Amino acid sequence: MPTPPQRRTGPPPKGGRRAGGPARRANRPSTHTRKHDAAHLSDEIVRELQATARPTKAEILVQVFSEAVGAFMAGDLDEAIRLGEQAKHIALRSTTVREFLGLAYYHAELWKQAATELSTFRRISGAADQNPVLADCYRAMEKPQRALELCDEVVPGESEPSVLYEAAIVGAGALADMGRIDDAIARLERLELRPEAAEEHHLRAWYVLADLLARRGRYTQAREWFEAVAAVDPELTDAPERAARL
């Protein structure tokens, strides 16, 4: 499966902005040519694909989807989306396929299509795991209130910490879009910002908080948070440069 994307709300990467396929049928030689190596799929994903595929289509679904993930991992979003759409039409109710396709569209910055697929994933699965990405799509479509509502669905105890932090980051961005900078800062300050061991989602929250503080004119506090990001991973973002300018 693709790695979680970097949200538009979060810090830009430094220097820029931000599973095995089945055997072929022995009695029918294939003329299919792969553009990229198929990815290895976990047993759990394979079982979900097989359970949701149209009758007699489980084998081809696993093959197509593994190639879609391989294309995504190779950075070929057009091919990943093309194959992901093929997989979707074989298994319309596969949460694995709909989630993957939504993330592929998101990386391609096709916000409406990404929102459609991730909304379907959310409806079928009942999970809020991709709400931050879905919310970021609505931010890109200039619908910050809807984005905020989706972020508010992610609650402590029901989601992984990384999802909780991403929801806070995107929610803060939505508030900032509406001119509510103080509310955005307060939303981030409710997080646990001083963990014993900082992980990437902590650094992303620190960076966004620093950016919001700088926008509010609170430069000393902003510099402290930019410096905190730089101290843990100076290569992750442009935090060292941002701190130096304050």
- 99-136 pLDDT per residue, tens: 999 999 999 999 999 999 999 999 999 999 999 999 99
Q: Based on the domain organization, do 69 and 94 belong to the same domain?
A: yes
Residue 31 located in a structural domain:
no
Identify which of 196, 212, 208, 207 has the alpha carbon closest to the alpha carbon of residue 234. 207
Residue 58 located in a structural domain:
yes
Q: Based on the domain organization, do 123 and 133 belong to the same domain?
A: no
Query: Which residues of the chain register pLDDT less than 50?
Result: 3-7, 12-31
Residue 30 located in a structural domain:
no
Q: Based on the domain organization, do 13 and 60 belong to the same domain?
A: yes
Q: Based on the domain organization, do 46 and 107 belong to the same domain?
A: yes
Q: Based on the domain organization, do 86 and 142 belong to the same domain?
A: no
Q: Based on the domain organization, do 116 and 146 belong to the same domain?
A: no
Contact 14, 236 (CB under 8 A): yes
Q: What is the pLDDT of residue 29?
A: 35
Q: What is the pLDDT of residue 171?
A: 98
Domain final position from 90, 108, 127 = 127
Q: Based on the domain organization, do 105 and 155 belong to the same domain?
A: no
Q: What is the pLDDT of residue 1?
A: 54
Q: What is the pLDDT of residue 21?
A: 29
Q: Based on the domain organization, do 145 and 234 belong to the same domain?
A: no
Domain extent for 170: 128-191
CB atoms within 10 A of CB 61: 24
Q: What is the pLDDT of residue 163?
A: 97
Domain final position from 127, 155, 171 = 127
- What is the C-alpha to C-alpha distance for residues 220 and 243, in angstroms, rounded to an integer? 9
Q: What is the pLDDT of residue 34?
A: 75
- What is the C-alpha to C-alpha distance for residues 23 and 59, in angstroms, rounded to an integer? 9
Domain count, the chain: 3
Q: For residue 149, give Cα distances in angstroms to 23, 128, 153, 175, 177.
A: 45, 12, 7, 11, 14
Residue 212 located in a structural domain:
yes
Q: Based on the domain organization, do 151 and 65 belong to the same domain?
A: no
List the CATH number of the domain containing 164: 1.25.40
Contact 1, 121 (CB under 8 A): no
Q: Based on the domain organization, do 57 and 159 belong to the same domain?
A: no
Q: Based on the domain organization, do 52 and 114 belong to the same domain?
A: yes
Q: Based on the domain organization, do 180 and 144 belong to the same domain?
A: yes
Contact 242, 226 (CB under 8 A): yes
